[in-house]
A = this chain, B = another copy of it.
Amino acid sequence: MTLEPFRAEIGAVNDLLCAASLLTWDSRTMMPAGGAATRGLQIATLIRAARDRLLGDAMARALDQARRAVEGLPEDHADARAVAQTLAAVAHHARVPAALVEARAALRTQAQAAWTQARETSDYALFAPHLDETVRLARDYADAVGYEAHRYDAMVGLFEPGETARSLADLFAALRAGIAPILDAARGRAPARSDFLARGYAMEGQRAFGLSIAERFGYDLRRGRLDTTVHPFEVSFTREDVRITTRYRPDYLPGSLFGIFHETGHALYEQNVDPAHTRTTLATDLIGLYAVGGTSFGAHESQSRLWENHVARTPTFWANHFPELQAHFPAELADVDADAFYAAVTRAEPGFIRVEADELTYDLHIMLRVELETALMAGDLTVSDLPGAWDETMRRDLDLVVPDARRGVLQDVHWSSGYVGSFPTYTIGNVMAAQLMEAVREDDPGAVAAMERADYAPLADWLRAAVWRHGRRFGRDELLVRATGRALDPAPYLRHLAAKYG
């Protein structure tokens, strides 16, 4: 028995999904506005073709051969894992009726248009019927896919396999308890000066500095590029072409800089997946139908947060690199030093908007969303009661009065995209990043010392060996146990927050 037909079929599925990702990248960076309608149809056709291929006869025959070919291999052998993951994905998609897939796709287009308009006018009523339908279809989806304890488990499992409403409740309880005293302490202090971050920074200097740091971190521009977009993201079309995007605000310098560092973290993960995994199951999310080498959304986010917050949002980093930034903006930064700059970019202050939140309050925004979407899935909360619940939770957690739906329940794109269960992965990324960094400190103190000399190669080497190269071969907790000796653990993250903001 041979693996060749299986590899060819999965290669084609990966090709279709990489093509879909390129069409998406183009639509968010290059496409003229007129192309939007037909582009949406093209992307939908590619995703559907990938799903059809996964459920097709050729795949079934190839999988049958492949299953026998990997018999006797260790369970965690790359080929054995590829076959097992593919069998699971085929079973998953076979459980979801085609009509439900079509209904969710059709709703997404309408819901996003309605959300865009609702957000602009801050009018929740415009979006509510679509959100209602989104929740209804998510419940149908969960029922089709199956779950043990909670419908939400089926949805969060699409993004973070193994995570459940129960496991998240435990994690969040620990985080809440740990963050509260640090936040209280931070509230007592006067915020650092940050006026100079708004001094009309030219895009060219932002781009040049950001990209020079990305390369210093190890981002390979022979297999990557940086473009401008509205909502920044990283995307890959195999490890040989991994692109990042950002946006430049003249009146908020850290936006593009930390944005680039963040996306670079994602990009390093993708660029460093073992080349042997290219165009295989181990570089394809066959459940989410997305060409990606990272093993879960949370694991992916851990890499972006690690480079953004543990490497770049540190006094050491700015002691090393602030002079370079100053050279790009000699007039604007003439009266600022590295310490003042670091203080400005670590300023903690509760706000309404998740994507603008600081490290300390960020997870409270996530917990709010997860709490509410879990209740929606369970039927404990109705869509019409959602805005009230949102505003109440903001008051409870951050002591803020939400002024309007635009700055409240309508701020995120996720629900309008049909994503229910994706929010936890941001916090999982934060937790995992801190856990990995603590392991680096224990395991390879030289890598930490090298960072003090602005040498990031030893850290990248450690992460490549522990995380990146494996692609999707190991699950998130399996990866963490191998790298740190423990499954996901909030303690290192709380220690990190206490040290930085306590």
Contact surface of A with B, Cβ cutoff 8 Å: 11-12, 15-16, 18-20, 22-23, 26, 30-39, 41-42, 44-46, 48-49, 220-225, 237-238, 240-241, 278-279
B223 touches A12 (CB 8 A): no
CA distance A384 to B238 in the complex (A): 41
B16 touches A45 (CB 8 A): yes
Residues of B within 8 A of A19 (CB): 19-20, 23, 42, 45-46
CA distance A220 to B225 in the complex (A): 28
A49 touches B221 (CB 8 A): no
Most chain B CB within 10 A, of A11, A26, A225, is at A26
CA distance A237 to B237 in the complex (A): 19
A15 CB, min distance to chain B CBs, angstroms: 4
B32 touches A237 (CB 8 A): no
CA distance A45 to B37 in the complex (A): 24
B224 touches A32 (CB 8 A): yes
A41 touches B225 (CB 8 A): no
A31 touches B279 (CB 8 A): no
Residues of B within 8 A of A18 (CB): 38, 42
A237 touches B16 (CB 8 A): no
B16 touches A279 (CB 8 A): no
A222 touches B33 (CB 8 A): yes
Residues of B within 8 A of A223 (CB): 32, 34-35
A22 touches B15 (CB 8 A): no
CA distance A240 to B40 in the complex (A): 12
A240 touches B38 (CB 8 A): yes
A240 touches B41 (CB 8 A): no
A445 CB, min distance to chain B CBs, angstroms: 34
B38 touches A278 (CB 8 A): yes
Most chain B CB within 10 A, of A11, A37, A240, is at A240
B279 touches A34 (CB 8 A): no
Contact of A32 among B44, B241, B278 (CB under 8 A): B241
B15 touches A220 (CB 8 A): no
Q: List 11 A-B contacts (CB under 8 A).
A: A15-B45, A18-B38, A18-B42, A19-B45, A26-B26, A32-B222, A32-B224, A32-B225, A34-B223, A37-B240, A41-B279
A240 touches B35 (CB 8 A): yes
A467 CB, min distance to chain B CBs, angstroms: 21
A28 CB, min distance to chain B CBs, angstroms: 13
Q: A15-B41, A34-B223, A35-B223 are in contact. List 18 more A-B contacts (CB 8 A).
A: A11-B45, A12-B45, A15-B42, A15-B46, A19-B20, A19-B23, A19-B46, A22-B22, A22-B23, A26-B26, A32-B221, A32-B241, A34-B240, A35-B238, A36-B240, A38-B238, A38-B279, A39-B237
Residues of B within 8 A of A16 (CB): 45-46, 49
Contact of A237 among B38, B48, B241 (CB under 8 A): B38
Contact of A241 among B34, B49, B221, B279 (CB under 8 A): B34
CA distance A41 to B7 in the complex (A): 13
CA distance A26 to B16 in the complex (A): 16
A12 touches B49 (CB 8 A): yes
Most chain B CB within 10 A, of A22, A37, A42, A220, is at A42
A42 touches B240 (CB 8 A): no
The 5 closest A-B pairs by CB, nearest first: A35-B241, A34-B223, A15-B45, A38-B238, A15-B42
Tell me the nearest residue of chain B to A221, going by C-beta: B32
Residues of B within 8 A of A31 (CB): 241
Residues of B within 8 A of A39 (CB): 237, 241
Residues of B within 8 A of A37 (CB): 240
Tell me the nearest residue of chain B to A12, going by C-beta: B45
